[in-house]
Structure 1
Amino acid sequence: MKKYFLISLSILMFILPSVLAISTDLKQSYQPGETLIIEISGNILEPIYPDQVEFKTGKFGNIDVPLQYDIKRLGEKYFLYALLPDEEKNYTLHIKDILTTLNGQSQKIDFSQNFTASGEIAPYSINPGLIITNSEFTLKLISKLDIPQTIETSLEGYANLTLKPGENKISVFPSSLESGFNKIKFGMYFIPVYFSPSENNDTYFQENETNFREDALVLLPLEIRSTILYSEEIKFPIRLTNLKDLDIEDIRFIYDEELFLIDELPEIIPASEYVEFNLLLKNQNSNIDEVIVIMSGEEEIILPVIINFTQNESEVFTPYLQDFSSSSGYLCSELDGRFCSADETCTGEVVSSIDGNSCCIASCKKTELKKDYSWAGYLIGAIILIVLVIVIAKYLKTKKLGIHK
């Protein structure tokens, strides 16, 4: 008995450090539709990026869940937020390859923790769930109730805030923030905010460059919103454009494979080119309100997919397909166009493209400066006016002398 106790104690002592190395304040249960916001604690030796985070579900916890989320270091702390769907489900949060210390030695570990979404749908959600800023910013609060609701806030001058049904945009100004780390209350949520008003904060923002990077990928459409017939088989075309001068190879798609099928998934997008592929539906039994996450390196694109089914053919409509093939979906170079410089004008049609709103589908011509001779007219007029003044003055003087005689 003593032998088994010692063996168990040894195993526990071996496992315990890895458990204690990283921890979170993740709750066991959340409401469906709630915004999950957690703090990650531990001796974290290198940045954690969004592509290290996974949400899984299923009986064996092996099905990827495409949630909108982000993870950032705010000051000396790491925070993660995620928008949970409006449905009850069991989840597992995975964070891979966290560099930390175990028994004084640097080591990469994987962290996992389970939680559930159950009960009534949350009355409102908030997005984003964390902020890094040096100026004013805007939050979106989505009210799920059909009547206005009032929440408390910690913002100066806004002790109470009334949310109307649907989307509510709230602007937060620097005067409401202290320099450094803040937590702002919006009813049931406490939003972590790192405010750095100093002009010399380039280093900090570079370390959190995912907030300020120039996107390499452009997605068309920005959302798929469609009403189709129950029996209709339809393909939703998607175009992904690479704006960089280098090939993009590490493209990953996260989506519900029980609902969707993506044909011809791209493995590489050549520099300054685009790829097209199709989204197909596997399940046409009920309306769909999901997202597809497209990731490349630290870049993440969220594609909302809202599909409603109908039996009325007159209601069938997919708005983005009306102009999917228009010029706005292409690079200017793909349209055989060019951007004219400040001292040039376009000799033909000017259209919008992915990389700009003034793509010239013709040639650019140097603007000729026309010689302006209006100054000569003004000069002649001034001379005539001066002559008239002199003549009138002499006339009046002569007339005055004649009267005195």
Structure 2
Amino acid sequence: MKRGIALFFILMFSFALISALNITSDKNSFKQGETLILSISGNILEPIDKDNIGFYKEHVQIPVTFDMIKINETYYIYGLLPFQEGNFSLRAKEVSYRELNKNKEQDLELNFTIGSAFADFGINPGVFLTSASQDLLISNYLDKQITVYYETDNEENKSFTVPMQETKKISIGTADFDSTYSGIIVFTSSTGFVYNIPVYIIKNDSKNTQNNTELDRLVFSLNSVNAQLKKGESYVYTTTLNNNGNFLENITLSVSKDLVKYVNLSLYNLSLNKEEKKEIKIGVFFDKTGNFSGVITAKYSNLSDDIKLNFSIGEDIIPSSSIVNNHSCSNLKGKICSSTQKCSGNIEFTSDGSCCTGSCVDKTTTQTTRGPINWTAVALIIVVLLAIAGFFFWKMKKTKKTARDVLKDKAKSFSERFETKDKLRKY
């Protein structure tokens, strides 16, 4: 009987451990610019709302580029950490789950620190799910070239080099795997920095692969844009829409409803000849802070492609964008502003970095405007000042003594102190 009771409590305890809601990361101390990867697991009842996810420094929410992907029953979150030192946390609010036959709701929090050192490299995205191919951006933060290695099913130790202070795009597709794969891809740099990237790669059969190839006729040159931008400033991204098949007429472009107020396109309808491509400008302007996500979609009949957009908007941040663009700043006839300058026009993200298509001006330069002088107010102020000065002059003159008065007062004082009349007696 006692053994049965003990077994019952052991089973109940084990069930509680399995059912408990957990937020975990493989470490709690990071370097500046590092890609944070964590997971939320448990018997989650309702999808976790991305709007309920936030990054905080101390108790203040900060803009961080991040995304969340569900693989099987686990939610994975990755974030591109800021280049700041301090104590931080990630919070997930109102997560609904079931534990011990009860429906519950809980706020989750993961505390972590960012040290003074920079990460060797960053990776974006830090989690992905794909049935075709996935582009990854590898950013080298060091002042020297690095080599990054990773493994797939078909070939071990694939590698590529990333020049110092540059970002390189690589693609991982279903062709790299013999079958559907759910697990971890390990990325290791020549400097010993490691990322364990959760992935779910769905391997299609040959028929579906042919269909996907057919659907890839209409493609954007950009796959995604992940950026940290400043509120109240205008930014421009440049992409091309490519037609890899026959003539297409009346192609429509649209922006998802969550971003339509902040993102505009230079073209919304176009036609493309066979093997033709056209340039499209993506204008971005946010008048409020926060995290925003959406897509730009190009559609023709059953052909379509989209650009995934993720923006973190803040008040006082240095704009940065993790995209690779084939356009250089010189191609756009722009300028790269120095650290002591700011751009007075639009900013485009190019292969050279942030490109100013306007003018670079000194940050300390301020423009002042002088309005018309109110002479009535000036005259009134002068009259008041003269009246005050006259009052004090009159006051001083009234109380001022002459030299004769001063001598008379001193003589009187002397007499009073040393007078001997009727005070000397003879003994």
Q: TM-score, normalised by structure 2?
A: 0.47
Instruction: Please give the TM-score of this superposition, normalised by the length of structure 1.
Output: 0.50
Larger Rg: 2
